[in-house]
Amino acid sequence: MSMIEKVNELKTKKQEASLGGGQLRIDAQKAKGKNTAIDRIHELYDEGSFIETDAFTESRSMDFDMASKRKAGDGVICGYGRVNGRPVFVASQDYTVLHGSIGEMQAKKIVRTIDMAIKTGAPIVYMLDSDGARVEEGTDVLSAIGELVTKQSMASGVIPQISVILGNCAGVSSLFPALSDFVIMADKTSFMYMNGPQVIESVSGVKVAKEDIGSALVHSKSSGNAHIHCIDENQCINSTKMLLSYLPDNNLSEPFRVDTADQANRATENLYEIISDSYDMKDVINSVTDISTFMEIQPEFGTSIITGFARMNGEAVGIVANNPSVKEGKIDMYASDKASRFVRLLDSFNIPIITFTHTTGYVADASQENKGLIRHVAKMVYAFAEATVPKINVITGKAIGGAFIAMNSKSTGADIVYAYPTASVSIMESDGAANIIFNKQIAQSDDPVAFRKAKIQEYSDRYTSAYEAAKRGYVDDVIDPAFTRTYIIGALEMLRSKRESRPNKKHGNMPL
């Protein structure tokens, strides 16, 4: 066979591979409102930059008529290219091939892609659309999936990993997104669960719909397994691009700075009106950060704490903030989990942490106590104490008790702590403290109500003001809210060369 004939044969094979499970299945995929695996890739990548790898990988299984079902690529398209000019790897499952099921060779193919991403220090995006493990391949597929999740674990904290659920993600396959840094899901088309409705009904007798256990809403609001909740596939892809813009290529590089028209010394006098007993901290965040740069992460989960990315003078930063408009900023187990995981992500990828503190303590709830509130809030303390990136805290309102300690306090390693003149830093609320300290005097006084009120004010003036905390070194400076942005940017510039070591150890034992 001549070279020309060989090349023509190659073209034919590539054309066949590009059709995945065939045109009929492609049409069926699109009829469901879902794009094909290759269409999703082209939407993510800069035009003409994607290069496929391992295109001819096939299943080696011969059992259960698998020899007649195998297809080139084995149900996943892998490769690399550029997203907004930056190198990014991808593994995009093809539902038209055996329902995207993960077989031995598909898993090994993804493992090789992760290996290349680690070697080259580039992020990887997983586009998941699969009904789960390929049962026809028995223990071979179990072993291969084990290798896959192990490789993901090795990549954790080395390169950013983003899972985009664009169909089903069922059974052991759901470990895949759970081991990623971020999970993005879309309404109506994204579903993720370990045990599906049929399994749950067969075991428990309870009938459930997959929307009740695995939808984007469930994982965004209830389980906390999803980080970004989108309307459709297109928004998922756009959110992936936006997320990548805040992340560095790997743990040895710094996040990218961008040019900004926003002024570093821009005053934020609107904060005079925003700050009150109850306000939405997002208004503070949007006022202080570069205009239109705040990207919230997990907005529907653990809502008394806000997490997200933003920019300060063009520099990527991570935001962790109490929200006094939700439960007075009280921290519960869900908010703790949300904050601690995000803090560790920021620390892994050299992204400075800015906290805005207004919390009246931990939530008082018997159910949460029974479910391990102590362990959950300890995660948050651990995460902040462990982090070595620049850490800046702005106390905008109340900072009460152990919750203040957990919110990036000086005692847990904050580099700079600022406070507004209206801030209140205390072991507990003034009225509670006065009741404990002056209990007998209040009871014995001629006018208990007036005496108690006076003692509350006395305690507040003596122990809870921002100036008292500053006197003891727990606050670096009491600042005019109008210049919050200027102070934070100045602190970030000062901390740019920060180096901080930790005791030599294999790893700590985080209270998981």
User: What is the value of pTM for the model shown?
Assistant: 0.92
pLDDT tens, position by position, 281-320: 999 999 999 999 999 999 999 999 999 999 999 999 999 9
In 3D, which of 251, 245, 329, 334 has the Cα closest to residue 295?
245
Q: Which residues of 122-150 are buried (b: 16+ CB within 10 A; e: fewer)?
A: bbbbbbbbbbbbbebbeebbeebbeebbe
pLDDT tens, position by position, 36-48: 999 999 999 999 9
Residue 490 has pLDDT above 80, yes or no: yes
Residue 433 has pLDDT above 60, yes or no: no
pLDDT score of 101 = 79
| Count of H-run helices and E-run strands, the chain | 21, 16
Q: Taking residues 61-74, what's their average pLDDT? A: 60
pLDDT score of 178 = 94
pLDDT tens, position by position, 78-92: 999 999 999 999 999
pLDDT tens, position by position, 395-411: 999 998 888 999 999 99
Q: Taking residues 181-199, what's their average pLDDT? A: 92
More confident residue, 2 or 23: 2
From 120-124, 210-214, 357-361, the region with the lowest mean pLDDT: 210-214
CB atoms within 10 A of CB 194: 17
pLDDT score of 295 = 98
Taking the C-alpha atoms of residue 287 and residue 385, their distance in angstroms, rounded to an integer, is 28
More confident residue, 69 or 84: 84
At how many degrees (to 10) do helices 37-44 and 233-246 cross?
Answer: 40
**Helical residues (DSSP H) of 156-227, grouped into ranges:** 175-178, 197-204, 210-214, 216-221
336 to each of 303, 374, 512, how far by Cα in Å? Answer: 10, 10, 11
**Helical residues (DSSP H) of 387-499, grouped into ranges:** 401-406, 430-437, 439-444, 448-459, 466-471, 484-494
pLDDT score of 21 = 64
146 to each of 176, 201, 234, how far by Cα in Å? Answer: 10, 27, 31
pLDDT score of 55 = 81
Q: Rounded mean pLDDT of the chain?
A: 88
For 6, the 3-state DSSP assignment is helix
For 356, the 3-state DSSP assignment is strand
pLDDT score of 68 = 52
Q: Which residue has the tokens 């895949």?
A: 176
The values of phi and psi at residue 224, to 5°, are: 80, 10
Q: Taking residues 468-497, what's their average pLDDT? A: 95
338 to each of 265, 306, 354, how far by Cα in Å? Answer: 32, 9, 15
Q: Taking residues 330-342, what's their average pLDDT? A: 97
Residue 462 has pLDDT above 70, yes or no: no
> Which residues fall within 8 angstroms of residue 172, CB to CB, at 6 or more apart?
132, 133, 142, 145, 194
Residue 30 has pLDDT above 80, yes or no: no
Q: Which residue has the tokens 């303390």?
A: 381
Residue 100 has pLDDT above 90, yes or no: no
Taking the C-alpha atoms of residue 390 and residue 393, their distance in angstroms, rounded to an integer, is 10
Among positive and negative, which fits the CA dihedral 487, 489, 495, 497? negative
